[in-house]
Structure 1
Amino acid sequence: MKLVKSLLLGSAAGLTVVAGAHAADLPIKKAAPVEYVRVCSAYGAGFFFVPGTDTCLRVSGRARFEAGYSQGYQRGGNNGDLMGYRGLGRLNLDARTQTAYGTLRAFVRFELASRTGAYLNSGTQQRIANAFPALGVDTFGRAQQYVNVDKAFIQFAGLTAGRAASFYDFYAHDFEIIGTSLGSDVASTNLLAYTATFGNGFSATLSVEDPTFRKNPLFGTATAGNAASQFAVFTAAATNLSPVIATNAAGVPIGEAFYDLRQTNRMPDFVGALRYDAAWGSAQLSAAVHELNAQNATTVLTFGGAAIPAGTVVTPRVNSEYGWAVQGGLKFNLPFIAAGDSLYLQGSYGEGAQIYTGYSQYIGTYTASAGNTQGSPFAAYFTDAAVNPLTGKMELSTSWTVVGSYLHYWTPEVRSAIIGSYGEMSFGKTSRNLLGALNFNGLGNPVNSPGAFAYSAALRDTSQIVAGASIIWSPVKDLDIGVEGLYNRVDLKGGRVVDQNKAPGQVPVGLNAAGVPTNANGVALPTTNYADTFQVRMRVQRDF
């Protein structure tokens, strides 16, 4: 045993000597120094230097839960949801580097949400390709996933390029839980802009912006939102047709040419803004120019319904027009009332540029018409133009909105907002009358069925009010728990229409001796001249 123990100890000693000899022959390699993350204080709290670079980065985000109740009148089809829910996540990346030309900045924001039920399932976002719907029997039209590159822009030496908020906007619903007061708010569009700073708070911006996010449909037969062809626009051969009296080369009327009013991107929108910022608040004056265009005629028929012979010269053609809008806004900081208090006042007017005035903000954008609630008595119309069937020229709609919003801090933890807005939208009477004479798009023929024309909601002038209030509690920094209530009313500016809530799907075909519209069976139909609704919603939100 002693012999074995001596052999083992001797072997271990020998191995140790050999290993030491080999180790002495190897070069000594120092470990690379560890580069710790350093705080970057140049751009505010939360920034740090990206290791190995001189770029400062801030990572932030948001988590949110929302629930809402919306008044509804019908339970048919996809109607019937009174409650809605939404869970939302946001991730922000803000990278900044100091250069000889000033700060080079890149900002990216992603938003993801699961939305269900009334109102929070947004048709507006679905129409603009920011959301996709569920397809199940019980979920179609009431469940939706929202995926959006909300921001992705570069700023350098006065240049802004990428996906950002439109430079036309000012108030943009800053004090609202969900932005629904009347007024422009295009938070995500593609643009290329230059901002010149003159000192003393003055600046000016010229922005070339993507027109897609400001296109509201022209008035035609197959526009999303018109019930008879709600799904036609999603097919490959979708059209949005409007008739124009066709004449031959000699100027003789020979039939009707049905022009495709779907708009394409030919010219960008041009936006200009003058801004002033000071300790008392801010002021901005902005303007925009927006092209409206149409495609060629898809079908040409004689007045008898037969096809026009091949080779016939057909005039006129629907030429492009230019809509425009102007907006002025003021923001007042009111610390003498309470720390953090402020007031926004804003007004906007436009022709052929309804999304710039924001008249459809509450009810829904990127559609020709929509009701303000499920089972609404009638649909309000938001089209930017209608084509005159005699001249082939676009008649631009006009719209204007005003909004006031006041934020008050009752305590540093509790605040409230009061919001009030009003607007009007008007259409050219000539096109409505002529299209009605052609029995176009349900307007009805004023000779054969005067009730259909007189009591149709299509292209009717309207006014609208959206008002509300909220209260929000922030028990700790960056946590909001709040509730908000809103009231909306749409009024016809003249006349009455058939109440689709009380007589759904009924179309007037005539008038009785008392001048009341009747259906095909001679039964008098109920009418109305307004539609109103209300909503209540709550939010729990954490920013980090």
Structure 2
Amino acid sequence: MYIKSPLLGLTALMTVSVGRAAGAEREPAEYIKICDVLGSGYSYIPNTETCLRIGGYVRYDIGLGDVRSYDSARTSDVRTGEDQGTWRNSTRFTFKTWTGQQTELGALTTYTETQVNFGNSANSHDSPQNYDFNSGLALASAWVELGGLRVGKEGSAFDTFVSYAGNVLDSMLVPSAGFDTNVAQYHFDAGNGISTVISLEQGSGSAGTIDSYIPHVVGKRCSQATALSSSLLM
């Protein structure tokens, strides 16, 4: 009898201690908090009010045939004279990020896009027929926008504001203008499908070059309701 009593007391003490420990367990920490202010796919960066979204894609293109030139009627490229009578393929990996947060001046957002391209050409790896040029990491876009004012690296507003070349199937038939440039541009959305952009850009015929102390000026007004677009390029 005197031996069992201490054992019963110890058992009761262990039961109470375990019960208190179980009751004191905290709920699992929520490491990822969904941010639905900017749309689907965003989550808050821990300990900040900044929302982050990550995306990207892998693309594979293949083409073949004799005709692949700007005039759509020759078997050689009008720029280089290279024979186009072969098949070609290319692969692209793209990594994208979006961030955003609300400020007193409006939404502060950023966007980056990084690409890696690989293409097999008919001749050497740097052949004009290899339109991907087997590039390393390439910065396609990196900009910051606050209240409609966007600065950074982006495609020219002459292309991007109207979704590039639209529904053109082959850019070799309808070539687009110069693309890569640093920009300082302002977007204004009047509502009802009417929007305007004015963009200060640098560059000339080749990407990454400056040909004047005065930046290029691109202005566009677009109406989705009437499917009309007017442009100004200086």
Report if TM-score (shorter chain) is over 0.5. yes
Tell me, yes or no, if the aligned pair for 1:173 and 1:185 is still in contact at 8 Å.
Answer: no
Asked if residue 117 in structure 1 is aligned to residue 121 in structure 2, the reply is: yes
Segments of 5+ residues of structure 1 without an aligned counterpart are 1-29, 119-136, 217-261, 290-544
**1:328-370 deviations in whole A, cap 9, x for unaligned?**
xxxxxxxxxxxxxxxxxxxxxxxxxxxxxxxxxxxxxxxxxxx
Tell me the equivalent position of 2:231: 286
Tell me the equivalent position of 1:154: 144
Tell me the equivalent position of 1:208: 200
- TM-score under structure 2 length normalisation: 0.68
Q: More relative contact order in 1 or in 2 (CA 8 Å, sep 6+)?
A: 1
Asked if residue 100 in structure 1 is aligned to residue 95 in structure 2, the reply is: no
1:299-448 equivalence runs, <5 A: none
Tell me the equivalent position of 2:17: none
Q: 1: CA distance between counterparts of 2:217 and 2:126?
A: 38
Q: 1: CA distance between counterparts of 2:149 and 2:36?
A: 24
Q: Identical aligned pairs, as a percentage? A: 22
Q: 2: CA distance between counterparts of 1:204 and 1:80?
A: 40
Work out which of the two has the higher radius of gyration on C-alpha atoms and give 1 or 2: 1
Tell me, yes or no, if the aligned pair for 1:173 and 1:181 is still in contact at 8 Å.
Answer: no
Asked if residue 145 in structure 1 is aligned to residue 145 in structure 2, the reply is: no
Deviation at 1:89, TM superposition (A): 0.3
SS at match of 2:224: strand
Q: 1: CA distance between counterparts of 2:198 and 2:167?
A: 27
Tell me the equivalent position of 1:49: 44
4+ residue segments displaced more than 6 Å: none
**1:57-93 deviations in whole A, cap 9, x for unaligned?**
111101011122142469xx97576121111100110
Tell me the equivalent position of 1:518: none
Tell me the equivalent position of 2:174: 182
Q: Which amino acid aligns with 1:145?
A: N
Segments of 5+ residues of structure 2 without an aligned counterpart are 1-24, 67-74
SS at match of 1:266: coil
1:64-103 equivalence runs, <5 A: 64-71=59-66, 72=75, 79=83, 82-103=86-107
Tell me the equivalent position of 1:540: none
SS at match of 2:158: coil
Q: Which one of the candidate residues 153, 163, 166 is aligned to 2:156? A: 166
Q: Which amino acid aligns with 2:185?
A: A
Tell me the equivalent position of 2:69: none
SS at match of 1:145: coil
Q: Which one of the candidate residues 188, 191, 194 is aligned to 2:183? A: 191
Asked if residue 58 in structure 1 is aligned to residue 53 in structure 2, the reply is: yes
Tell me the equivalent position of 1:37: 32
Q: Which amino acid aligns with 2:33?
A: R
Tell me, yes or no, if the aligned pair for 2:194 and 2:221 is still in contact at 8 Å.
Answer: yes
Tell me, yes or no, if the aligned pair for 1:158 and 1:194 is still in contact at 8 Å.
Answer: yes
Deviation at 1:138, TM superposition (A): 5.2
Tell me the equivalent position of 1:272: 219
**1:229-287 deviations in whole A, cap 9, x for unaligned?**
xxxxxxxxxxxxxxxxxxxxxxxxxxxxxxxxx98343211111122234xx6432111
Call closer, same or farther: CA 1:276–1:115 in 2, change over 3 Å.
same
**1:25-59 deviations in whole A, cap 9, x for unaligned?**
xxxxx99x834201111222211111111111111
Call closer, same or farther: CA 1:116–1:200 in 2, change over 3 Å.
same
CA RMSD of aligned residues (A): 3.3
SS at match of 1:97: strand
- TM-score under structure 1 length normalisation: 0.32
Tell me, yes or no, if the aligned pair for 1:211 and 1:267 is still in contact at 8 Å.
Answer: no
